[in-house]
């Protein structure tokens, strides 16, 4: 899918992109803040106005780890944009049926959020996240899957070295890894 600027005017720009929903936050009684990892625009935060209403056009289309084709209007100022349309492409409901899979998916998202600036380039990382989420939707999470994901992230960032463990390379970039990594790894140590 080509990225398109659908409409331009002095007041707003409308964008369309492939996006994976990575965070949902209640904004008001009827609205949500929806955070996306997009293919061409990095991390994008949008307001899903009225998304919590029973008759919302967003009903059933917004859930964690869904990949969609989404359309948003750029905010005049700030980084909280306006969600216009969502067309789900992959639902991935099976991830939430397993605590381990959900924890691993959450770690993958938090790791990428810490590496990508809003509006920053994330094309390869978006694809990697989708492949990882597809894996977790079909199979049980493993320690090996976490290490593989970290290796792929380090490779895409251009810092991978076979002499050093991928998580240590990522730690050197970030200063520290997301706290949920150790929780995730401990899930496999206790079994």
Q: What is the pLDDT of residue 190?
A: 61
Helix axes 166-174, 143-157, angle to 10 degrees: 50
- CA atoms in the 13 A half-sphere facing the CB of 189: 6
- DSSP character for 175? S
Q: Is 163 exposed, middle or buried (0-12, 13-18, 19+ CB in 10 A)?
A: exposed
Domains: count for the chain: 2
Question: Which pLDDT score is estimated for 98?
Answer: 96
* 31-86 per-position pLDDT tens digit: 999 999 999 999 999 999 999 999 999 999 999 999 999 999 999 888 899 999 99
**Residue 116 shares a structural domain with residue 135:** yes
- Domain finish residue from 41, 60, 92: 92
Residue 9 has pLDDT above 60, yes or no: no
Angle among Cα 180, 186, 188 to the nearest 5 degrees reads: 120
pLDDT for the residue numbered 66: 97
- Answer yes or no: do 86 and 99 share one domain: no
**Are residues 40 and 79 located together in one domain of the fold?**
yes
Residue 1's pLDDT band (cuts 50, 70, 90): very low
* Whether 42 contacts 112, CB under 8 Å: no
- pLDDT-derived band of residue 13, with 50, 70 and 90 as boundaries? confident
User: Cα(121)–Cα(102) distance, rounded to whole angstroms?
Assistant: 25
For the stretch 98-148, pLDDT in tens is: 999 999 999 999 999 999 977 777 779 999 999 999 999 999 999 999 999
Residue 107 shares a structural domain with residue 177:
yes
Whole-number pLDDT of residue 189? 80
d(CA 84, CA 67): 16
Nearest to 75 by CA among 116, 102, 47: 47
């Amino acid at each position: 899918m080509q990225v398109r600027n659908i409409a331009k005017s002095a007041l707003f720009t409308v964008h369309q992109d492939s996006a994976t929903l990575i965070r949902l936050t209640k904004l008001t009684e009827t609205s949500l803040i929806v955070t996306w990892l997009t293919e061409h625009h990095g991390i994008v935060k949008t307001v899903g106005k009225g998304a919590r209403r029973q008759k919302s056009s967003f009903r059933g289309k917004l859930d964690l780890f869904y990949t969609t084709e989404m359309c948003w209007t750029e905010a005049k100022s700030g980084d909280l944009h306006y969600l216009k349309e969502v067309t789900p492409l992959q639902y991935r409901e099976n991830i939430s049926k397993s605590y381990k899979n959900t924890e691993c998916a959450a770690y993958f998202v938090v790791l990428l959020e810490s590496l990508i600036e809003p509006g920053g380039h994330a094309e390869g990382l978006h694809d990697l996240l989708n492949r990882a989420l597809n894996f977790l939707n079909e199979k049980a999470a493993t320690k090996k899957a976490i290490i593989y994901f970290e290796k792929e992230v380090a490779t895409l960032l251009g810092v991978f070295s076979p002499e050093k463990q991928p998580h240590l390379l990522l730690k050197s970039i970030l200063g520290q890894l997301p706290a949920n990594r150790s929780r995730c790894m401990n899930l496999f140590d206790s079994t």
